Amino acid sequence: MDLAVLRDDLVDSLEHESKGIVQSPRLSDAMRTVPREAFLADGQEAYSDRPFERLGTRVLSPSTVARLLEALDPEEGDDVLVVGAGVGYTAAVIAELVGEANVHAIDITRRLVMDARSNLAAAGYEGVLVDRRDGADGLPEYAPYDCVLLEAAAIEPPAALVDQLTEDGRLVMPLGAGEQSLAVVEPDGVAERLGGVAFQPMLVEGEQADTPERNRTQREDRERARRAAQSRAGWEQEWIDWDSR
């Protein structure tokens, strides 16, 4: 089947009153223009409304991308920072909305940065800047930004990202840990919460998808167990067979 037809069918479904996710005509046009198949291996699967796994990260479903961008609501000419570039699809849709020279994207995982650059170039958006950075630090070289989109959850809005907003700028992000909500954050604090979401937590240095250990909690638990074992007195050590002594 013609992939352009599948793309239109997908956006039609997101606009339908049963979902009502895509409401802006500009976002509708942008999602109908960006070839999502350039960002995923299977062209037809690219137009199913579900997430995918690629290079150790979750590729957001089209409906989730649409929900984020309706909240972000970037205007033409806005400078936008995407934190969590992933495969580059969200940055491409934003490039259709504001112009590719106005879009900057960062990711902590080097393989994803290279993948996003390649995908964006293949889709015709090579003007989008993609760099490897710790998301919590943002990209101060090109600040301030009218809009910042964080595609990972954090308990508090990262201070650096808020600082890199313009006076009337906004940060859209999943806010919270166990229970998350999609939040619109302005320079003076959280302005709006737009319902529940479920995103992976923002990674810190050493937790990238291409490192041996990603789960900080599991890693810390193992280290605590190791230290506790080393600090035990002799009679507490499990490896000593006291019955044979």
Q: Which residue, 84, 82, 92, 41, is CA-closest to 62?
A: 92
* 3-state percent helix, strand, coil for the chain, nearest multiple of 5: 40, 25, 35
Catalytic pick from 13, 61, 63, 181?
Answer: 61
244 flagged as catalytic: no
The answer to whether 83 and 161 are in contact (CB under 8 A) is yes
Taking the C-alpha atoms of residue 4 and residue 147, their distance in angstroms, rounded to an integer, is 29
Radius of gyration for the chain, computed over Cα atoms and rounded to the nearest angstrom: 21
Residue type, 131: D
103 in helix, strand or coil?
strand
Q: Token pair of 238, please?
A: 């499990």
**Catalytic residue numbers, as ranges:** 61
